[in-house]
């Protein structure tokens, strides 16, 4: 019994000791487990929250994207609408301009009849009263004609239907002539009308003479119209800001223009005030025509003015090199050449002169900068003649010519006339040119006449043959 009792006691003790050993760590383990579980739950909650936030963000972005997509489509639609509206407006404006141009042209024809017959009548014996009445008719018809010319010009300029025709002329000659025509009106009004041309302005320039006349004439007419005492002066100088431009200034001591009107007067139908209009006449188109024409001449127009003291209207225009062109004017223009010419050039001035002269002769001009470009162009099309600088960067004129001739031999092509342009006129140079296969050598500076004389005999044959070939090709 006692033994059993002892064993049970020992067992109980052992159990209790074991329990003590187990309980401690178990409690600790459970604590740890609890903490870990808590961490997991927290993390899960956080992840869920992040997921929710992300989903919200995605939804928001999708909404924004849809909205911007819609806005973009809307903007594109609006742009298309605006473009269509603009195209329609352009078409309408073009149609209006064409209509105006046609109508004013149609009206001018009978008006010329009225003016012409009035002049014939005025030459007949008339009573004093009849003469006065007829003079009113004449004067009114002339005003109407001027108005129509302005309208015609204005609408053609609006429709971009005006092209400048550049040709050489004596600037002083044209301006002298213009002023001479206005002197009677100036004298009648007791005004001095003067012309001052700076000495460094070239005597001859190439530009659209009629349009230069028109712009200067409009400015002078205005100056005389709005000046009651003093003088009107036309000054011409080289533009200090641009070597190839001239600047014209028309100064007057007239009524001047208030500062707030200075921009407006260059717009069509704008006049400083109604009283002036009635007193001075005019439709307010002169300056807007001037502005358009000056823009076509690659220049600008402007005014400085003080009310009550006078105005200075100025404009700039581009002009072409003059020395060679002066010669061109004197030369007999000779027969039109009507040829397709390739100019192979080294320097730009030379090219401008050659191009201008060739155009005047009636040629179509293509320009190649250097030998490589020339060979490339010749591979793709034929020309009636080539004008070639000798000294060029890259392959020079002699070498380019050799290659052209070699290619012609290879392809059994027609021999194309090649004229050399060179600053040195030594016999050796000429010999080298001829040896390379050139047909002629032109010394710089060449004149219109010498270029014409060099090309004409060479072209006569080729141009005709080429034209015949093109005709049969097509
Ligand atoms: N030299 C000038 N002095 C004062 N005002 C001028 C002068 N030139 C033009 N203007 C003003 O600019 C306006 C517009 O000129 P313009 O276009 O030539 O039309 P118009 O001569 O038919 O009136 C004139 O009506 C005038 O008010
Ligand atoms: Mg005017």
User: What DSSP line would sit under 410-454, residue for residue?
Assistant: HHTPPPPPEEEEES---HHHHHHHHHHT-SEEEESSP-HHHHHHH
CB-based contact 238:197 (threshold 8 Å): no
Residues 6+ apart with CB under 8 A from 454: 419, 440, 442, 446
Quote the distance between the C-alpha of residue 310 and its chain's center.
33
Which tens digit of pLDDT belongs to each residue from 40-83?
889 999 999 999 999 999 999 999 999 999 999 999 999 999 99
- Nearest ligand atom owner, CA of 276: 1
Ligand 1 atom nearest residue 150's Cα: 22
CA-to-CA distance for 438 and 459, rounded, in angstroms?
Answer: 14
Does residue 349 have a pLDDT over 70? no
Cα three-residue angle 163-168-171, rounded to 5 degrees? 100
Q: From ligand 2's centre to the CA of 203, what distance in Å?
A: 28
Q: From ligand 1's centre to the CA of 223, what distance in Å?
A: 8
CB-based contact 196:179 (threshold 8 Å): no
Phi, psi of 134 (to 5 degrees): -65, -35
The protein residue with its alpha carbon nearest to ligand 1, atom 27, reads 272
Our mutation pick for probing the ligand 1 site, out of 228, 248, 286, counting the most ligand atoms within 8 A of Cβ, is 286
Which tens digit of pLDDT belongs to each residue from 273-323?
655 554 556 778 899 999 999 999 999 999 999 999 999 999 999 988 655
The protein residue with its alpha carbon nearest to ligand 1, atom 18, reads 286
Going by pLDDT thresholds of 50, 70 and 90, the confidence category of residue 425 is low
Q: From ligand 1's centre to the CA of 303, what distance in Å?
A: 11
The angle, 0 to 180 degrees and rounded to 10, between the axes of the packed helices 128-158 and 286-296 is: 40
Please, what sign has the CA dihedral across residues 92, 98, 102, 103? Answer: positive
| Residue 342: DSSP 8-state | E
Our mutation pick for probing the ligand 1 site, out of 234, 284, 308, counting the most ligand atoms within 8 A of Cβ, is 284
CB-based contact 377:416 (threshold 8 Å): no
Q: From ligand 2's centre to the CA of 312, what distance in Å?
A: 14
Quote the distance between the C-alpha of residue 153 and its chain's center.
20
Residues with CB under 6 A from ligand 1: 222-223, 226, 252, 254-257, 265, 271-272, 276, 282-287, 311
CA-to-CA distance for 411 and 70, rounded, in angstroms?
Answer: 62
């Amino acid at each position: 019994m006692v033994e059993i009792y002892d064993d049970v006691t020992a067992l109980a003790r052992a159990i209790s000791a074991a329990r003590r050993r187990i309980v401690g760590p178990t409690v600790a383990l459970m604590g740890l487990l609890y903490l870990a579980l808590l961490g997991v739950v927290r993390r899960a909650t956080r992840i869920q929250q992040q997921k929710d936030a992300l989903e919200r963000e995605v939804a928001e972005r999708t909404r924004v994207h849809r909205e911007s997509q819609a806005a973009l489509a809307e903007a594109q639609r609006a742009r298309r609408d605006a473009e269509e509206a603009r195209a329609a407006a352009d078409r309408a404006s073009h149609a209006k301009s064409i209509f105006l141009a046609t109508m004013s042209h149609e009206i001018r024809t009978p008006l010329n009849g009225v003016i012409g017959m009035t002049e014939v009548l005025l030459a007949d014996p008339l009573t004093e009263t009849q003469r006065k009445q007829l003079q009113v008719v004449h004067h009114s018809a002339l005003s109407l004609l001027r108005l129509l010319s302005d309208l015609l010009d204005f609408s053609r300029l609006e429709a971009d239907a005006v092209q400048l025709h550049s040709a050489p002329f004596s600037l002083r000659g044209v301006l002298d002539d213009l002023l001479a025509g206005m002197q009677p009106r100036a004298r009648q009004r007791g005004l001095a009308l003067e012309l001052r041309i700076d000495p460094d302005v070239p005597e001859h320039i190439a530009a659209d003479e009629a349009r230069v006349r028109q712009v200067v004439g409009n400015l002078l007419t205005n100056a005389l119209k709005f000046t009651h005492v003093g003088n009107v002066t036309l000054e011409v100088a080289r533009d200090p800001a641009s070597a190839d431009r001239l600047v014209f200034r028309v100064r007057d001591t007239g009524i001047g223009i208030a500062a707030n009107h200075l921009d407006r007067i260059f717009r069509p139908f704008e006049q400083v005030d109604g009283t002036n209009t009635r007193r001075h006449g005019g439709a307010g188109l002169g300056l807007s025509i001037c502005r358009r024409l000056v823009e076509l001449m690659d220049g600008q127009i402007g005014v400085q003015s003080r009310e009550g003291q006078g105005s200075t209207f100025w404009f700039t225009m581009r002009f072409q090199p003059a020395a060679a062109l002066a010669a061109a004017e004197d030369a007999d223009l000779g027969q039109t050449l009507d040829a397709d010419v390739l100019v192979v050039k080294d320097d730009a001035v030379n090219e401008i002169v050659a191009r201008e002269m060739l155009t005047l002769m009636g040629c179509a001009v293509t320009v190649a900068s250097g030998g490589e470009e020339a060979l490339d162009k010749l591979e793709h099309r034929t020309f009636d003649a080539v004008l070639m600088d000798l000294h060029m960067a890259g392959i020079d004129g002699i070498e380019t010519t050799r290659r052209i001739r070699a290619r012609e031999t290879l392809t059994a092509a027609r021999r194309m006339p090649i004229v050399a342009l060179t600053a040195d006129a030594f016999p050796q140079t000429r010999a080298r040119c001829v040896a390379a296969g050139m047909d002629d050598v032109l010394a710089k500076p060449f004149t219109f006449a010498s270029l014409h004389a060099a090309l004409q005999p060479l072209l006569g044959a080729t141009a005709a043959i080429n034209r015949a070939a093109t005709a049969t090709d097509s």
